[in-house]
Amino acid sequence: MDLDGVWQSFSDWRDYYRYKVHVTSQHRSLEGHLNKTFGGGILIKSYEDQFLAIGLNSEPAHWVLFEPMQEIALEGEGGQSFKDVDFIVYVPEGIDLSLVRAEIERYKIADRTYKIVTKK
């Protein structure tokens, strides 16, 4: 009996579920998963992403390169776009938002809130 077809089917199933197990609600992992699922162009921003991590001179990684130019929230600006949500998902036009919402709901932490914004 030729088991190559059975093995390939099992191998594909195993690879798929190994991938799914490693997707988490951490926004970089979730962003990568959404881009893989929907073909790219999706960006997730959290409130913390608006601020620079500024270290001390004594710390090894305190320099930040601004290539390309990074937007920085000024004092008082941080909460304006995140009034009632923990993170924002920017989705290109043409992607079914209900499918994106279903994927986010599958992986997000229960008490986290978000909104989806369509970008042009």
Q: Report how far residue 102's alpha carbon sits from residue 100's, in angstroms, rounded to the nearest whole number.
A: 5
Q: Report how far residue 55's alpha carbon sits from residue 64's, in angstroms, rounded to the nearest whole number.
A: 10
pTM greater than 0.75 (yes/no): no
pLDDT per position in the chain (120 positions), as tens? 688 888 888 888 887 777 666 665 577 788 888 999 999 899 888 766 555 555 666 666 555 555 565 565 555 555 556 678 888 899 999 999 999 999 988 888 778 888 898 987
Q: Where are the domains of the chain?
A: 25-119
CB distance 91 to 118 below 8 Å: yes
CB distance 47 to 88 below 8 Å: no
